[in-house]
Amino acid sequence: MEGRMGPTKGKSFDSGNAIGPWIVTRDEIPNVGALDVAVRVNGEVRGKNTSANMLHSFENMIAYVSRNETLHAGEVFGSGTIGGCCGLEISRFLRDGDVVEIDVAGIGRLRNRVVKPKA
């Protein structure tokens, strides 16, 4: 995988795709293009933005992936992080033990701890 920014399937590694505990249906979110998003690492705000500033819409991601893959009902797409807080953008990378939280207005908070695999 090249080190440029998406769209790419760069995060399809084992245990790297946490979701939940919430799932919402389309009718619960009036405008997916206007959701406030905040990212924190160990309580420190690393970025705030809105889904209105996404580089690639979900519609475009689905169109891109469906060129070469069969998509099935219920599959999950992730959009990556919000602009301005990706480790590649700010030269700050996650470490073992870090707690990452992503809040999306109207959906909830995803909170996970980074754990280095045992050798």
From the list 4, 6, 1, the residue with the least C-alpha distance to 60 is 6
pLDDT in tens, 55-103: 888 888 889 889 988 988 877 777 777 777 778 788 889 999 999 999 9
pLDDT in tens, 2-38: 455 555 555 555 666 666 666 788 888 888 888 999 9
Length of the chain measured in residues: 119
Q: How far apart are CA 50 and CA 104, in angstroms?
A: 9
Q: List all residues 6 or more positions away from 20 whose beta carbon is below 8 Å from its beta carbon.
A: 110
pTM of the full structure: 0.73
Domains and CATH numbers, the chain: 30-113 (3.90.850.10)
